[in-house]
Amino acid sequence: MSDMSSPNPADANLVAAVGEPVSIGPTPSEPIDRSTEHGPLAGARTLLYKEVLRFWKVSFQTVAAPVLTAVLYLLIFGHVLEGRVTVFGSVGYTSFLIPGLVMMSVLQNAFANSSSSLIQSKITGNLVFLLVAPLSHWAWFLAYVGASVVRGIVVGAGVMLVTVWFAPLQLANPLWIVVFALAGATMMGALGLLAGLWAEKFDQIAAFQNFLIMPMTFLSGVFYSVHSLPPAWKAVSHLNPFFYMIDGFRNGFFGTSDVSPWISLAVVATSLVVVCGLCLHLLKIGYKIRH
């Protein structure tokens, strides 16, 4: 224990400069009366709030811009292909395209949210504020993935709200819509978290997005039914988990899809468990964030 009764002369000068000690908070031994969260999810609510606030503060870029992009896709492809293509027997092309665009927006934005937030914090160094806090790996996971789901759903709802006026809306099985939207957004939020943990530079995230996420979403049947593809491409499409997310989601609108929604659910759920499990493990060991 230090000898507090004999401060050195310079310390005495500081005492003189400060004047008599004024209590500016409880001393370490005093009990502090405040509402403090404990347990494995302590702090998760605040981190979720912070992550949602982060994208909401720049919503022009994180919400409005992807809605506009989806509307442009609809205008261009709908204009070119409406009347020339019908899907599932009687569904018009624009009607077919809308759920695909909504789900694509949900997936891409859920991925973008967690991946960009984490890589920004790593590169600017402010991740230290989280690293020194008593947040468990569950708290990190729920907050980052939760905020990704919120952004994905907000953007998806925005795309739906704007595009629904271009074609009649069917809602054959709304439960599938909700289930696949939530499962897809959760998986992409977790995948974004994985990418953010792994990446050390912005261009690695961009590469992940451009060479993996973008091709897998574009080749998943957003713009076409895989039944229209040659057999080889059709077989390849069935290896793409994104195909099942979009196909299952679309079934909720039309009551029909390329494969059974139960098969889609099984594939999506399995992928979800694998990605989330890996994500939780890497967060627990502090992969590339605690050295």
Partner 1 sequence: MPAVAFQNVSKIYPSPRGSVRALDDVSFRVEQGEFFGLLGPNGAGKTTLISILAGLARATSGHVAVLGHDVVADYAAARRKLGIVPQELVFDPFFTVREALRIQSGYFGVRHNDAWIDELLAHLGLVDKADSNMRQLSGGMKRRVLVAQALVHRPPVIVLDEPTAGVDVELRQTLWQFVARLNREGHTVLLTTHYLEEAEALCSRIAMLKQGRVVALDRTSALLAGTASTMLQFKLDRPLPDALAANARVTGRIVQLKAHDAREVESILSVLHAAGCEPEDLEIGRADLEDVFIEIMRGETPPRFAA
Of 10 and 175, which has the nearer Cβ to partner 1? Answer: 10
As measured in angstroms, the least distance from the Cβ of 138 to partner 1 is 12
Of 125 and 230, which has the nearer Cβ to partner 1? Answer: 125
Determine the Cα–Cα distance for residues 78 and 92; give it in Å rounded to an integer: 10
Please give the full DSSP string across 43-62, using - where no structure is assigned. Answer: THHHHHHHHHHHHHHTHIII
Of 55 and 93, which has the nearer Cβ to partner 1? Answer: 55
As measured in angstroms, the least distance from the Cβ of 187 to partner 1 is 26
How are beta strands 91-92 and 86-87 bridged, if at all?
Answer: antiparallel
As measured in angstroms, the least distance from the Cβ of 11 to partner 1 is 6
Q: What distances in angstroms separate CA 138 from CA 109, 111, 127, 165, 201, one per listed residue?
A: 22, 19, 17, 41, 25
Determine the Cα–Cα distance for residues 161 and 102; give it in Å rounded to an integer: 10
For residue 153, give both structure tokens: 């759903």
Of 126 and 260, which has the nearer Cβ to partner 1? Answer: 126
As measured in angstroms, the least distance from the Cβ of 287 to partner 1 is 12
Of 55 and 180, which has the nearer Cβ to partner 1? Answer: 55
Q: What distances in angstroms separate CA 197 from CA 55, 106, 131, 164, 208, one per listed residue?
A: 19, 21, 13, 37, 12
As measured in angstroms, the least distance from the Cβ of 190 to partner 1 is 21
Residues making contact with partner 1 (CB under 8 A): 1-4, 7-8, 10-11, 13-15, 17-18, 21-29, 32, 34-38, 42-43, 45-47, 49-50, 53-54, 57-58, 121, 124-126, 128-136, 286, 290-291
